Amino acid sequence: MNSKVFRSDFLVIGSGIAGLTFAIKASELGTVHLVTKKKDSDSNTNYAQGGIASVLAPDDSIESHIADTLKTGAGLCNEDAVRMIVENGPSRIAELSEWGTRFSMKKDSAGKDVFDLGREGGHSKNRIVHARDLTGQEVERALLEKISTIRNITIFEDHTAVDLLTEHQLGLDHERAQKTCYGAYIMENSSGDIHSFIAPITMLASGGVGQIYQHTTNPEIATGDGIAMAYRAGALVADMEFIQFHPTSLYHKGGGRSFLISEAVRGEGAILTTISGKRFMEGIHPMKELAPRDIVARTIDSELKKSGEKYVLLDISFKGEAFLRNRFPAIFQKCLDEGIDISKDPIPVVPAAHYLCGGIITDRFGRSSIKNLFVSGESACTGVHGANRLASNSLLEGIVFSHSAAEYLRTHPEILKSRDALPEFPLWNKEGTFDLEEWILIQHNKEDVKRLMWDYVGIVRTNLRLQRAQRRIKFLAEEIYDYYRRSTLTLELVELRNLVTVAGLIIEGALHRKESRGLHHNTDYPDAKDEYCANIILCAQTRPLLKKHREIDIRW
Ligand X SMILES: Cc1cc2nc3c(=O)[nH]c(=O)nc-3n(C[C@H](O)[C@H](O)[C@H](O)COP(=O)(O)OP(=O)(O)OC[C@H]3O[C@@H](n4cnc5c(N)ncnc54)[C@H](O)[C@@H]3O)c2cc1C
CA distances from 259 to 52, 267, 351, 378, 469 (A): 19, 18, 11, 19, 27
List of residues 6+ apart from 443 with CB closer than 8 A: none
CA gap 90, 86 in Å, rounded: 8
Query: Binding of ligand X at residue 217 (CB under 6 A)?
Result: yes
Compute the least distance from the CB of residue 20 to ligand X, in Å: 7
DSSP 3-state of 204: strand
Task: Write out the binding residues for ligand X, residues 253-282 only, by CB under 6 A.
Answer: 260
CB of residue 51 to ligand X, shortest distance in Å = 5
**Closer residue to ligand X in complex, CB, 226/234:** 226
Nearer to ligand X, 466 or 500 (CB): 500
Cβ contacts of residue 331 below 8 Å, gap of 6+?
49, 133, 261, 262, 265, 342
Q: How far is the CB of 50 from ligand X (least distance, A)?
A: 3
Minimum distance of ligand X from residue 330's CB (angstroms): 10
DSSP codes of every residue in 430-451: -TT-B----HHHHHHHHHHHHH
For ligand X, the binding residues in 11-70 under the rule CB under 6 A are 13-19, 35-38, 42-45, 47-52
Choice from 207, 267, 359, 504 touching ligand X (CB under 6 A): 207
Nearest by Cα to 163 from 494, 464, 399: 494
Q: Which of 70, 129, 312, 395 binds ligand X (CB under 6 A)?
A: 395
| Nearer Cβ to ligand X (352/416) | 352
Q: What are phi and psi of 19, to 5 degrees?
A: -65, -45
Task: Starting at the earlier edge strand, list the strands of the sheet with 153-156.
Answer: 153-156, 32-35, 10-13, 201-204, 373-375
Question: Closer to ligand X at the Cβ: 83 or 159?
Answer: 159
CB of 174 to ligand X, least distance (A): 27
Q: From the CB of 407, what's the least distance to ligand X, in Å?
A: 18
Q: Where are the beta strands (DSSP E) in 357-395?
A: 359-361, 373-375, 380-381
Phi-psi region of 58 (alpha: psi -120 to 50; beta: other; left: phi over 0): alpha
- Contact string 411-450 vs ligand X (x = CB under 6 A): ----------------------------------------
Pattern 451-480, ligand X, x by CB under 6 A: ------------------------------
Cα-based distances in Å from 457 to 142, 241, 292, 505: 37, 9, 20, 11
Backbone φ/ψ region at 371: left (φ over 0), alpha (ψ -120 to 50), beta: beta
Nearer to ligand X by C-beta: 159 or 521?
159
Residue 389 falls in the annotated catalytic set: no
Least separation in angstroms between residue 353's CB and ligand X is: 9
Q: What are the beta bridge partners of residue 272?
A: 314
Query: Is residue 132 classed as helix, strand or coil in its secondary structure?
Result: coil
- Sign of the C-alpha dihedral computed for residues 219, 223, 225 and 226 taken in this order: positive
What is the per-residue binding string for ligand X in 338-357, x denoting contact by CB under 6 A? -----------------x--
Please enumerate, as own/partner, the contacts of 477-480 that have beta carbons within 8 Å and a separation of 24 or more: 477/501, 477/504, 479/445, 480/445
Q: Which stretch binds ligand X (CB under 6 A): 202-210, 281-289, 419-427, 532-540?
A: 202-210
Nearer to ligand X, 159 or 419 (CB): 159
- The residue (of 208 and 247) whose beta carbon lies closer to ligand X is 208
Q: How far is the CB of 236 from ligand X (least distance, A)?
A: 18
> Mapping DSSP to helix (H, G, I), strand (E, B) and coil, where does residue 372 land?
coil
> Pattern 480-519, binding to ligand X, x per CB under 6 A?
----------------------------------------
Catalytic residue among 293, 367, 389, 461: 293
Number of residues that bind ligand X (CB under 6 A): 43
Residues binding ligand X (CB under 6 A): 13-19, 35-38, 42-45, 47-52, 135-136, 160-161, 205-208, 217-218, 221-222, 225, 260, 355, 377-378, 392-395, 398
The catalytic residues are: 293
